[in-house]
A = this chain, B = another copy of it.
Amino acid sequence: MSASLKIGLGIIGFGTVGQGVWKHLSASKRDMEVRMGVKIELIGVCVRDPKKKRAVSIPKTKITTNPHEIIDDPRVNIVCELVGGTTLARDITLHALRQGKVVISANKALICEHGAEVFDAVSKFGGQYFFEASVAGGIPIIKSLREGLVANRFSQIVGIINGTCNYLLTRMEKEGLPYETVLKDARRLGYVEADESLDLDGIDAYHKAVILAFLAHGKWVPRKNTLVEGIRAVTLEDIHRAHEFGYKIKHLAVIRRNFGKGLMTLGVYPALIPLDSVLARVDDVYNGISLTGDVVGTTILVGRGAGQDATASAVIGDIVDAIRTLKGASFKFLTKADLDSYTSMGRTVRMAKMDEINSRFYLRFDISDTHGVLAKIHQAFADEKISIARGIQYEHPGTGRGTVTFSTHPTTEAAMERALRRLKRIKTVLEAPLVLRIFNPEN
């Protein structure tokens, strides 16, 4: 252990997150250096536009537009890939890993889509890859899964992991404002990604859920085996109705595993959770993740999911972990043995089929306000052996329309799908129902 070990840091991408990392790291650098017996040096920063004004300033000599100048610099041990996206980011990552370097990333899309390739490169070339910031920003969820809670197998992981959806649903609920109004505010505040579909259609949450599922179960879950829904269909009406039923609507990622049957499911969708659950209290842009392990029971982590500072906190935590591994030949993650272990864990599980997934459901749809409609609807449910827990019907005077909302007792996804097909054939059912799942994330 040398007291003067030099750690060379390169930052690729100097936007909000990159600047946050350097700002906060500069502030705590000296203390970290003393504590860990190293010298941390910023070798270079790669930007797209060197002329752009930035809140955090860097000496001109350290700025480049060519990422390879940084990655290939023999003084650089740690590369922070903070460019995002899956093309340039993939090149940079693989290029650095093939040199056995440490890469630190906040890039959930890259890991979701190319995680297998990236992890293989780590295991093959002896580098390291840290990605705490990729899921739930300031919450140390990846460290908790891989380290603190390592003794556990997780039967359920439920997360509010898209802050934008949570912000929108919270404001709709608390202020009674319609979706379109709060969405405008979210845009103005910069809470929505440039490609809005990532947030609003659940893609971002799906990316993060895939990472959690791999860490918990050793399986890269392909999109086709999952249910990915956003929040566009949720109305104020649904939020009020859920409240009456004793629930709150949250946009969730849900990873379930039945160890006895070797089945798992991964879904991302708005769902009804009990008003008195901890996750129901996780509001605004906050994230929250509930983990149910066979040893520890249910553990819940709540914190800021995104933003410059929360993400910087996670990246700096990873830098400290990286320095630890650079200081000696200690245990590393994603070695061949570590990866093989994930692979063999993943082999013991398959994605559940629709008739193997049970849930309670909430449905809301408009009907013609005429006699006999409800009889037909209830018959459709009865034919699929779906039992109704609560139902509320109300008319829209003068329109000839009414709205019905139901909550069901547990049934299978397959039975619900068949019931929905039956409802579609009823002429007086005027639209495809909004379908939300109901469950308790903290059983």
Contacts and interface: CB of A to CB of B under 8 A. Distances in A.
Interface of A: 1, 3, 24-25, 28, 31-32, 34-37, 132, 137-140, 143-144, 147-152, 276-278, 280-282, 293, 295-304, 309-310, 312-314, 316-317, 320-321, 323-325, 327-331, 335, 337-338, 340-341, 345
A32 B150 CA distance: 9
18 contacts: A31-B345, A34-B340, A37-B337, A140-B140, A140-B149, A143-B143, A143-B144, A147-B147, A147-B317, A149-B317, A150-B316, A278-B302, A295-B312, A324-B330, A327-B330, A327-B331, A328-B330, A330-B330
Nearest to A345: B31
Contacts of A148: 132, 140, 143-144, 314, 317
Contact of A25 (B25, B151, B296, B314): B151
B303 A299 contact: yes
Residue from A132, A139, A313 with most neighbouring chain B CB atoms (10 Å): A313
Contacts of A140: 140, 143-144, 147-149, 299
Contacts of A296: 137-138, 303-304, 309-310, 313-314
Count of chain copies: 2
Contacts of A152: 313
B299 A301 contact: yes
B297 A151 contact: no
Contacts of A325: 330
A299 B293 contact: no
A105 B302 CA distance: 27
A28 B151 contact: yes
A392 to B, nearest CB: 26
B327 A36 contact: no
A323 B277 CA distance: 37
Given A301-B300, A302-B302, A330-B325, A282 B293 contact: no
Contacts of A341: 31, 34-35
Contact of A151 (B34, B277, B298, B317): B317
Given A35-B337, A36-B337, A293-B313, A323 B328 contact: no
A1 B28 CA distance: 32
B331 A329 contact: no
A323 B137 CA distance: 28
A279 to B, nearest CB: 9
B303 A34 contact: no
Residue from A36, A151, A280, A298 with most neighbouring chain B CB atoms (10 Å): A151
A405 to B, nearest CB: 25
A31 B344 CA distance: 10
A40 to B, nearest CB: 13
Nearest to A287: B299
A150 B322 CA distance: 13
A147 B320 contact: yes
A309 B295 contact: yes
A24 B3 CA distance: 39
Contact of A328 (B143, B149, B329, B340): B329
